[in-house]
Amino acid sequence: MANINYKNFTLGIEEEYMVVDPETKELKSHNQKIVTEGHKVIKDKVKAEMHQAVVEVGTDICQNIDEAFNDVSVLRKTISGIAGDLGLWVAASGTHPFSHWESQLITDHIRYNEIVNELQEAARSNLIFGLHVHVGMETREMANHIANSTRYFLPHIFALSTNSPFWEGRSTGYKSFRTKVFDKFPRTGIPETFDSIEAYDKYIKLLVKTNCIDNAKKIWWDLRVHPFFNTVEFRICDVPMTVHETIAIAALFQGICAKIYKLQSQNLNFIQYSRALINENKWRASRYGIDGRMIDFGKEEESNTRVLIYELLDFI
Phi-psi sector, 265: left (phi>0), alpha (psi -120 to 50), beta? alpha
The CA-to-CA distance between both ends of the chain, in Å, stands at 18
The predicted pLDDT at position 6 comes to 60
Give the DSSP H/E element, type plus range, for residue 124: helix 121-124
pLDDT tens per residue, range 259-282: 999 999 898 888 899 999 999 999
Mean pLDDT of 168-182: 98
Q: CA-to-CA distance for 28 and 8, rounded, in angstroms? A: 40
pLDDT tens per residue, range 282-302: 999 999 999 999 999 999 999
CATH level 3 topology of 8-315: Creatine Kinase; Chain A, domain 2 (3.30.590)
pLDDT tens per residue, range 89-142: 999 999 999 999 999 999 999 999 999 999 999 999 999 999 999 999 999 999
Q: CA-to-CA distance for 7 and 2, rounded, in angstroms? A: 15
- Cβ contact 131:246 at 8 Å: yes
The mean pLDDT of the chain is 95
pLDDT tens per residue, range 37-92: 999 999 999 999 999 999 999 999 999 999 999 999 999 999 999 999 999 999 99
Phi-psi sector, 252: left (phi>0), alpha (psi -120 to 50), beta? alpha
Torsion, CA 197, CA 252, CA 271, CA 232, rounded to 10: -10
Please tell me whether the overall predicted TM-score, pTM, comes out greater than 0.85 for this model.
Answer: yes
Task: Look at strands 11-20 and 54-58 and give their pairing.
Answer: antiparallel
